[in-house]
Amino acid sequence: MEKVELHPAHTWDCPDCGKENFCRGVTVEMTEEDIAGQIEMYGGEPEDWRTGHWITKPDIVTCVHCGVEFETEDMMPLEDEDGPDEGDGPE
pLDDT tens, residue by residue, 11-45: 999 999 999 999 998 888 888 888 778 778 777 66
* 39 lies in some domain: yes
pLDDT at residue 84, rounded to an integer: 46
Q: Is the pLDDT of residue 91 over 60?
A: no
* 87 lies in some domain: no
What's the chain's length in residues?
91
pLDDT at residue 49, rounded to an integer: 57
* 3 lies in some domain: no
Share of the chain above pLDDT 90, in %: 36
CA nearest to 13, candidates 64, 85, 81:
64
Neighbours of 63 (CB within 10 A): 19
86 or 46, which is more confident? 46
User: What total number of domains does the chain contain?
Assistant: 1
* 28 lies in some domain: yes
- Find the domain containing 21 and state its range: 9-74
* 16 lies in some domain: yes
* 90 lies in some domain: no
